[in-house]
A and B are shown apart, each in its own frame.
Chain A
């Protein structure tokens, strides 16, 4: 699977948009970009995923560059409950490797 690079930490003001970057320069054409988060003491939570088009759901928006080498997760109106570690990973569409492997992720702290 392609590797991803994320900043180790970032702060965000409550009510403002949080833009989380991720680099995945070695991504291949059949690999999806996924975002998960893990709030302290809770299970990983799926946020959003996409292949090449931008995606939006009730939690967030995912912007993927045209060359697919990077992406940005946007939390439109961050709240204190969005404080978590956010993980960007890539997953091939078809694979017998079912294990999810998270890197260090980005620790996002939302401040009042």
Chain B
């Protein structure tokens, strides 16, 4: 029972490099989300998807891109990494979008941009 799996767990990037954070869920959830959490702060929604082929921006989408080609996978792409993107990134999924069903989170990817 894997739930939401994120890879890698840790990564250090140089300014200007690019990378893809991977997220996969095995719960057949329609909705998937990407959040970032800065030290001592709350969650900020980056992007979300309501189903395969459908994505939309959250509150802090600049500098990121996503795709959702399958129900299971929702990768987050960082282009031209900047120090402000140093954060912990969490992927989450839920069966539906409202409060009727909970969001389940992965263990996060800790990203440092130097």
A and B: interacting chains: yes
B98 x A34 contact (CB < 8 A): no
Chain A residues within 8 Å of B35, by CB: 100
C-alpha gap A10/B23 in the complex (Å): 34
Contact A95 B90 (CB under 8 A): no
- A75-108 to B contact mask, C-beta < 8 Å, 1/0: 0000000000000001111111011111000000
The interface size bin for chain A is 20 to 34
Instruction: Report the contact-size class of chain B (Cβ under 8 Å from the partner).
Output: 20 to 34
**Closest residue to A48 on the B side, CB-wise?**
B102
CB distance from A49 to the nearest CB of B (A): 6
Collect the chain A residues with CB atoms within 8 Å of residue B33's CB: 98
Residue of A nearest to B102 (CB): A46
A21 at the interface (CB under 8 A from B): no
Q: Which of B44, B98, B105 contacts A44 (CB 8 A)?
A: B105
**A residues in contact with B103, CB < 8 Å:** 46, 100
Residue of B nearest to A89 (CB): B99
B48 interface hit (Cβ, 8 Å)? yes
Q: Which residues of B contact A94 (CB under 8 A)?
A: 98-100
Once the chains bind, are A43 and B99 in contact (CB under 8 Å)?
A: no
Indicate whether A93 sits within 8 Å of B98 (C-beta atoms), given known contacts A98-B31, A98-B45. yes
Q: A45 on the interface (CB 8 Å rule)?
A: yes
A92 to B96, CA, bound (A): 12
- Give 5 nearest A-B pairs by CB, closest first: A91-B99, A43-B105, A99-B45, A46-B102, A32-B99
By a beta-carbon cutoff of 8 Å, the part of chain B in contact with chain A is: 4, 31, 33, 35, 42-45, 48, 58-59, 90, 92, 97-100, 102-108
